[in-house]
A and B are shown apart, each in its own frame.
Chain A
């Protein structure tokens, strides 16, 4: 269906429904027939009166294991053997409060949160958390100063064309790969009995450490430690108006990204074909700013039915100075411009109608418009490819796009737990400087929900989407024209089918089971080269058994499979091979908890989780099928937590945490110098850890 026609239909239907008189949905339980409550006579003598001040301090003494070779974020930090947690809480009966909480002070990942204010009046929040993300502690590179942004080789480094000659371990410097994220938040909310609320927030995120990076010189690539030192600051101010039927929100936000290291240079460890190209410099993420204003307005013309308009305008700017074309002085040319003066305007408009026709029927209509307008000037640049060869002059492409979508859903329900939705959504995307000028998507959906046997609930959601793309066109500004056989998957013709079924059932009052099955299939039926087909399914079974009042067991089993089929080519004109990529994740979990044992003094919680993941890649090269070494990872965690209530004030807690992670990835684990002649990595790195922690904590409340 054409978008314009659809837009007209949506607008007409929306307006006509607004004219109908409709039935209010819900009434309260207070009626004139009731005797009014004689509240003045209510004593509330059994009501607890909490002391205004409450404190809790916990001291943790632990034995952390020393094997912490992380590969990805494990959620387990390099704990120190002594750290503290605690809270201070002041709540007065007149609504004043001050709640402060701190965790893991003295540890590598501390948290602090404090809220001060008066109920229904104002609140000041201060929040700080630090989380180190350790990637690897056994990385190594030939650069003697891994924390610098000008990386040097050892004095006796012998350059060579092949990494097989880089096997002298004494010439490599070990370093820890990972970064620290520090997040600070200051927020102030002011509310009053009038219709207005005000909000202000300031967020500061600092990232520092060493990140993975690499760059190449012609056909040789080198991994180097890239120092990072960045600050992101976000400031948001909001004003809300809530009237009887109107809601309005005006928001102004400012965001700034500041990179203290604008570039990283390293001495090339390989022998260069041009002796003037001995240093490689890469540009790091440039400083940038974003300013956004948004206005949100909503009119509820009857309970739970409303019209809403939202619009925002955002300007992104970046004007960092350019680096020279190359470090190779014999090839460097003057720049046409010294900086980008990049500017992008994002506009977003959303209109929505949600309308209850009567107790059973409702409609949901929505229109979205998003425009990315790139105002950056296009200029001619004369790149030097990997500091070796002057390349053909190119123009920077000020890429932008416009996306519109319209949705219309009809909902029907008769009673609680029952609902049927039928709907249509049309999407259209137009891109500039892109071979496929326009794509349009027709999406039909059906959602169904119903109860059965009093304690069962079934949900079925399904949709089918058909995306059509215009024929690829030649774009003048592109220095390299696209392969005409290649269709980028996100702008190619595609038929998508999705079905999701969820079954909740309680066979007894104490057992709850949930079975979920999701299936998604994308068929790129017109694509010659590129993604041909993909499917994903997810199956989950969850059981929770509330054995007794204080005893609970839960168990889940889950499997997710993702499969993609891709056609590849080494030439311009034909498809040479097919690659079938299969991801498979199996996860199992078990939890047991028992509370109030032994005179209501002991609580025990034990849990275990295992996730087993693999990736299998089959390559079909003209009928000759071969399989790449599989990529496997296994993550196991087990923990036991026991607490003993020694007195009303004192609690002892004993915790054992064990985590095991093991992965095998042919492309990472064994890539030492000599594996590939032209690739110098951080060395043989295994994503493996076997970490345990035993903790004894003593908490005192006063």
Chain B
């Protein structure tokens, strides 16, 4: 009967989820279609730039307006490799090529000095997130120089496929790209991966708060074929790059350790000591029955040390590190008497 009720409840939930999902799809599609019909979607700037001509003075045309007091200050680019101007040795630097227009496209009518009343300045190739330029077009511009990075992994990688532009993360007009600093990098990544925002705020976590680790300590954001874009082929392989002592092989192994660290640990932080997914003994009891161990923690009168005769101070099987008070070699033991991971 229980199973039947459970099944019915699951089916009901699934139906509700599906209805909600398709309602969302329908509503947003209708809104999106209406938005297009109303013409709020502006003309793709890339199409304009295909016909536009380059400016007569190059960067001097742009910098006449875009100085440090403008709405879009750009001068910091000269503190970065993108601003190197020596054509002989920095052939790939944008400023050694067509300067600003290498990336932003030919100026065309954008540099018209005076606009008539009501006239809108012609768009440039704009890399901001809200621009109407397809992500593939933006990335193609970056990849025209960073060709190796694109060809090795990024093209077709998870971020590229999900329409993440290079410039959604990297800022080329800053003296130092924030993605190269761990703290700024974490802040940037969690702006999309918002559920991971708690990574720095959880009770037990990796050293993210002062920037000793960043997202790229474990993940490869430019893409590889590993699950979750991890640096190594497996979760365990990624963890043991630093925690190599847990790599073994041990004389007596604990199978989940060899298989996947994330079966017990939550690498993005947890409410429990040691980034455990649950506290012991309950995490352990997800896989092990408590035969021979008085592991019922409490009853309605409180903590139990033993039930008969009753004693109420709490049991060593519950307090402290619980199961690992005794089975402390939980990651494996190399002791010939360590078959129960106690030595």
Q: Which A552-599 residues have C-beta < 8 A from chain B?
A: 556, 558, 560, 562, 564, 566, 568-572, 576-577, 579, 581, 583, 585, 587, 589
Write out the residue numbers on chain B whose beta carbons fall within 8 Å of the beta carbon of A304: 136, 155-156, 160
Q: Does B41 interact with chain A (Cβ within 8 Å)?
A: yes
CA gap between A37 and B227 in the complex, in Å: 45
Write out the residue numbers on chain A whose beta carbons fall within 8 Å of the beta carbon of B161: 354, 362, 364, 411
Q: Does B25 interact with chain A (Cβ within 8 Å)?
A: yes
Q: Contact mask A322-362 → B, CB, 8 Å, 1/0? A: 11111000000001000010111010101010100000001
CA gap between A344 and B248 in the complex, in Å: 9
Asked whether B21 lies within 8 Å of A448 as measured between CB atoms, the reply is yes
Pick from B105, B152, B201, B259: contact of A609, CB below 8 A.
Answer: B201
Residue of B nearest to A542 (CB): B194
CA gap between A101 and B113 in the complex, in Å: 43
Q: Does B112 interact with chain A (Cβ within 8 Å)?
A: no
Q: Which of B140, B226, B248, B252 lies at the interface centre, i.e. has the most chain A CB atoms within 10 A of its CB?
A: B248
Asked whether B101 lies within 8 Å of A416 as measured between CB atoms, the reply is no
| A274 → B minimal CB distance (Å) | 14
Residue of B nearest to A482 (CB): B289
Residue of B nearest to A256 (CB): B244
Interface size of B by CB at 8 A reads: 169
CA gap between A488 and B240 in the complex, in Å: 24
Write out the residue numbers on chain A whose beta carbons fall within 8 Å of the beta carbon of B79: 50
Q: Contact mask A644-673 → B, CB, 8 Å, 1/0? A: 000000000000000000010011100100
Asked whether A300 lies within 8 Å of B319 as measured between CB atoms, the reply is no
Q: Does B185 interact with chain A (Cβ within 8 Å)?
A: no
Interface size of A by CB at 8 A reads: 220
Write out the residue numbers on chain B whose beta carbons fall within 8 Å of the beta carbon of A614: 271
| B199 → A minimal CB distance (Å) | 11
Pick from A31, A257, A538, A611: contact of B247, CB below 8 A.
Answer: A257
Write out the residue numbers on chain A whose beta carbons fall within 8 Å of the beta carbon of B238: none
Residue of A nearest to B52 (CB): A34
Asked whether B245 lies within 8 Å of A259 as measured between CB atoms, the reply is yes
CA gap between A242 and B137 in the complex, in Å: 21
Write out the residue numbers on chain B whose beta carbons fall within 8 Å of the beta carbon of A450: 25, 28-29, 32
| A662 → B minimal CB distance (Å) | 11
Asked whether B300 lies within 8 Å of A626 as measured between CB atoms, the reply is yes
CA gap between A666 and B260 in the complex, in Å: 30
Q: Does A100 interact with chain B (Cβ within 8 Å)?
A: no
| A276 → B minimal CB distance (Å) | 15
| A516 → B minimal CB distance (Å) | 4
Q: Does A625 interact with chain B (Cβ within 8 Å)?
A: yes
CA gap between A453 and B28 in the complex, in Å: 9
Q: Does B130 interact with chain A (Cβ within 8 Å)?
A: yes
Pick from B135, B140, B320: contact of A671, CB below 8 A.
Answer: B320
Residue of A nearest to B105 (CB): A29
Contacts A385-B337, A452-B32, A581-B278 supplied; 7 other A-B pairs, CB < 8 Å = A27-B50, A49-B78, A77-B210, A318-B250, A451-B35, A453-B31, A615-B272
Give me 27 A-to-B residue pairs in the complex whose CB atoms sit less than 8 angstroms apart, sorted by A's number. Answer: A29-B52, A29-B105, A39-B99, A44-B60, A46-B64, A91-B84, A212-B321, A214-B328, A232-B245, A259-B245, A288-B245, A323-B335, A323-B343, A335-B336, A344-B249, A385-B342, A399-B258, A525-B6, A566-B286, A570-B290, A570-B295, A572-B291, A614-B271, A626-B301, A668-B319, A676-B316, A677-B313
* 4 closest residue pairs by CB, A with B: A75-B209, A42-B58, A285-B245, A37-B54
